[in-house]
């Protein structure tokens, strides 16, 4: 049983990595529409860094850039769509998708929301802030996240995993914060625009299990790029 379980575990890990690469490839292709040179395209530069940290194969990365920039003669017709609603137990959720078939995606998202409630545009987004989220690690023990946040123009900061710091900024200031943090002793690991809940909901353990199953089903959908949920903690 042990060997069989390990084999299944390896397969699940490989599938998860494949899904992550698929999502990153889509983001790279969308960003590369504005130019294939990461040095001249800030959004592409950030996504490429994320792809490298996720150990995306170089060939996959370069093909996504060329395809997005139209250098392979293939049209990239992904459209970004956003859905809002509630999970079971009325937790607000925002789902961002990249799709080449909006009608297919909305039909499948409706099915996934049957255990929750799919709302109209604006039904829950008012309860979130749209911000820049920059995760960075200190390059020395003297690096001060509070001072770095002030000097880089971030609005706030909080501890992240593995000794990193999450710097929060206005959406329009994210790139400027990324450029300023290295001078303050921090190396940027990732940077994304996304939603932060204003009034996070606290659930019981049993309720949380049901909500997590709902969120995992959403995240597993091929067209879903990001899921933002108004949960405490």
* Range with the largest mean pLDDT of 6-15, 38-47, 143-152: 143-152
Instruction: Tell me: do 175 and 218 sit in the same domain.
Output: no
**Whether residue 5 has pLDDT greater than 50:** no
Q: What's the domain count of the chain?
A: 3
Average pLDDT, the chain: 89
State residue 10's pLDDT score. 44
Give per-residue pLDDT as tens, 108-118. 999 999 999 99
Instruction: State if pTM tops 0.85.
Output: no
pLDDT band at residue 9 under the 50/70/90 scheme: very low
Q: Is residue 96 part of a domain?
A: yes
Instruction: Tell me: do 144 and 113 sit in the same domain.
Output: no
Which residue range(s) make up the domain with 60?
2-68
Instruction: Tell me: do 131 and 191 sit in the same domain.
Output: yes
Instruction: Tell me: do 160 and 55 sit in the same domain.
Output: no
What single-letter DSSP state applies at residue 24?
H
State residue 15's pLDDT score. 57
pLDDT band at residue 14 under the 50/70/90 scheme: low
Instruction: Tell me: do 158 and 184 sit in the same domain.
Output: yes
High-pLDDT (> 90) share of the chain, %: 68
Quick one: which of 220, 217, 224, 184 has its CA closest to 88? 217
């Amino acid at each position: 049983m042990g060997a069989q379980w390990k084999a299944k575990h390896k397969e699940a890990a490989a599938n998860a990595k494949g899904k992550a690469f698929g999502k990153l490839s889509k983001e790279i292709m969308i960003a590369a529409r504005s130019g294939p040179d990461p040095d001249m395209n800030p959004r592409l530069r950030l996504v490429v860094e994320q792809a490298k940290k996720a150990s995306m194969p170089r060939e996959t990365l370069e093909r996504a850039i060329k395809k997005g920039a139209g250098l392979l003669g293939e049209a990239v017709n992904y459209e970004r769509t956003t859905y809002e609603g509630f999970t079971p137990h009325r937790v607000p959720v925002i789902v961002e998708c990249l799709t080449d078939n909006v009608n297919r995606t909305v039909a499948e998202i409706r099915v996934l929301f049957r255990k929750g409630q799919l709302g109209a545009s604006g039904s829950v987004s008012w309860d979130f802030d749209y911000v820049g989220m920059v995760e960075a690690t200190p390059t020395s023990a003297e690096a001060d996240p509070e001072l770095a946040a002030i000097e880089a123009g971030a609005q706030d900061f909080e501890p992240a995993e593995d000794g990193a710091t999450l710097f929060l900024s206005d959406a329009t200031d994210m790139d400027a914060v990324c450029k300023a943090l290295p001078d303050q002793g921090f190396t940027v690991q990732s940077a994304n625009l996304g939603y932060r809940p204003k009034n996070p909901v606290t659930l019981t353990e049993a309720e949380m299990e049901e909500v997590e199953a709902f969120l995992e089903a959403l995240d597993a959908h091929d067209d879903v790029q990001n899921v933002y949920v108004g949960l405490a903690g």
